Amino acid sequence: MDDVKAVVRPRSVQDVVALVRHARATRLPLYPVSTGMNWGYGGSNPVRPGCTVVDLSAMDRIRNAADITPRHPVALIEPGVTQAQLHRHLQAQAPTLAFNVTGSAASTSVLGNALDRGVGYAGPRVDDVFALEVVLGTGDVIRTGFRRLGETSPLAQSHPHGLGPIPDGLFFQGNFGIVTSACFRLMRKRPVEMALSIGLHDEARLGDLLDGLIDLKRDGLLSSVAHVGNAARARATLRAGLTQYLQQRCALAGAALEQGVDSALAVVAGSPWTGLVGLSGDRAQVRSALSEVRRRLRGMAQVRTFSHGFMTLASGVADRLRGLPWVRPYAAGLAAALPLQSLALGTPTDIAFDNLFWLYGQQGLPAADYERSRCGVLFISPALPMDGRFVQQFVSELQQIADRHGHTLFITLNVETAHSLVGVINLLFDRDDPSATRRAHDCAHALHIHVQACGLEVYRARTDQMQAVITRSPEHWSLMRRLKDAWDPDGVIAPGRYSAVEGGS
């Protein structure tokens, strides 16, 4: 971490209170992180130098672990609780429950991602979190919603809106305090859970596909976020798995291996844009929704269905027949897609980072060791209007900018809800190469300038984007400053993070 004063690891709310009070007395600012794995957006690096990083990963309790049941599908979690930890607990203690999993590493913080408005496969995680416990910049501890009635109240972990004004939203992408726990909604598993792969036939119809998925979402027919990735994204996601399968199971090497990978990619990632979406419910609900999806997308895209049972069976059969040249691409594709399908159905994995490390020749590196890797990632994540034609033109313009900078864009367009569409766009570069690093940052800067020129803005900002973000809408940020002055009068919590001018002296 650059320009960091120190790193401290509190274990309790009382520890955090003591840190804040010490920071006020010494005027040494704090920069809280949950596990520090906000990769692509700045990781654990503070916006401004001279901060003490408050690493909350040791606060990793599921406080109501014994009380989680299908009748009470809420987890009261601390910021150090990871996707893997929550998944293991549910598998052991409440196997009929699941949660909104993201495509990031299993070791990432559930609450940290939600507080930065991350998006899982079921939707925006901001919608999963309520009833926060927060240490303000004054050192006071507040609890929102009906948790303010006390943890023993029957309402403490329900009725998320509480009574009166709801301050919860101020702590998402805010720097008014340090969140030390929150309620996190869980989901009941449904009798039928199915993933759909949607392959667009003609790139010129991307806007039509997005409009179709938006209408399906608004009509309540899609159970998950609809992810639509470009060819570069799909190929990068699958190439490592395909290569490993063809090496290990088919003993291919050299030119034969490259040809085998290309053949498999043509089968499983041959579309200019590929969608991934989930359907869930009882058998009749899923059958009806699937029929309607196919009807509306007919002639525009190929729709394939994948249940976990079918994928496992098909993969086993194809593997036994892998010696047949025409079967081999399908066997490799199924093997590479299985972990992704499990992820879409709620099992956190490190598959995304396995693929990134493979691109840079660092196979086997644990996702938690990303900072040791050569793989540089920069995200540009614009919020987008629910207008397929606009988005298609906008994406084309971004690709032209990237072309001028000599970069490939890895793009996913996410229909999150009936009212929100976002882009998750990343640049990859070799961090060991200063020239490549500079070119990637120049390209990312140019892309963000274009985002703003189109009247748009990112929905998650990197640490190095903060100044560009807060120079817009001065009235808004002036109001945030006045709230900051009230709740963090000495400006000791995350200075510069989503704020223009810190309060205090």
pLDDT in tens, 31-46: 999 999 998 998 889 9
- Cα 427 vs. chain centroid, distance in angstroms? 16
The predicted pLDDT at position 503 comes to 45
**What pLDDT shows up at residue 2?**
56
Helix or strand run (H / E) with residue 305: strand 301-306
Residue length, the chain? Answer: 505
Average pLDDT over residues 272-284: 93
Read off the pLDDT of each residue in 289-306 and give the average, rounded to a whole number: 94
Q: Measure the CA–CA gap between 125 and 306, rounded to whole angstroms.
A: 25
Give the strand order in the sheet containing 301-306. Answer: 301-306, 192-200, 273-281, 226-230, 410-417, 420-430, 375-384, 458-460
pLDDT band at 124 (very low <50, low <70, confident <90, very high): very high
Task: Quote the tokens at residue 112.
Answer: 């940290």
**Band of pLDDT at residue 504, cut at 50, 70 and 90:** very low
* pLDDT confidence of residue 169: 93
> What is residue 81's three-state secondary structure?
coil
> Is the pLDDT confidence value at 343 over 80?
no
Kindly state the tokens that stand for 265.
Answer: 């990619």
Residue 306 has pLDDT above 90, yes or no: no
Per-residue model confidence (pLDDT) at position 1:
54
How confident is the model over 175-223, as pLDDT tens digits?
Answer: 999 999 999 999 999 999 888 989 999 999 999 999 999 999 999 999 9
When pLDDT is averaged across residues 77-96 and rounded to a whole number, the result is: 97
* pLDDT tens track for 413-461: 999 999 999 999 999 999 999 999 999 999 999 999 999 999 999 999 9
User: What does the DSSP assignment read for 95-156?
Assistant: TTEE----SS-TTSBHHHHHHTT-B-SSSBGGGGEEEEEEEETTS-EEE-GGGGG-TTSTTT
Segment 319-329, tens digit of pLDDT: 898 888 888 88
Asked whether residue 505 carries a pLDDT value surpassing 70, the answer given is no
382-421: pLDDT as tens digits: 999 999 999 999 999 999 999 999 999 999 999 999 999 9
Split at pLDDT 50, 70, 90, the class of 334 is confident
∠ CA(13), CA(92), CA(110), 5° rounding? Answer: 40
Q: Do residues 101 and 343 make contact, with C-beta atoms less than 8 angstroms apart? A: yes
How would you label 467-484 residue by residue, b for 16+ Cβ within 10 Å and e otherwise? ebbbeeeeeebeebbeeb
Q: pTM for the full model?
A: 0.93
Q: Encoding tokens for residue 419?
A: 């009212």
pLDDT band at 312 (very low <50, low <70, confident <90, very high): confident
CA–CA–CA angle 395, 407, 274 (5° rounding): 45
CA distances from 349 to 103, 121, 294, 363, 418 (A): 8, 13, 29, 15, 27
DSSP 8-state assignment for residue 281: E
For the four alpha carbons of 105, 108, 110 and 116, in that order, the dihedral sign comes to negative
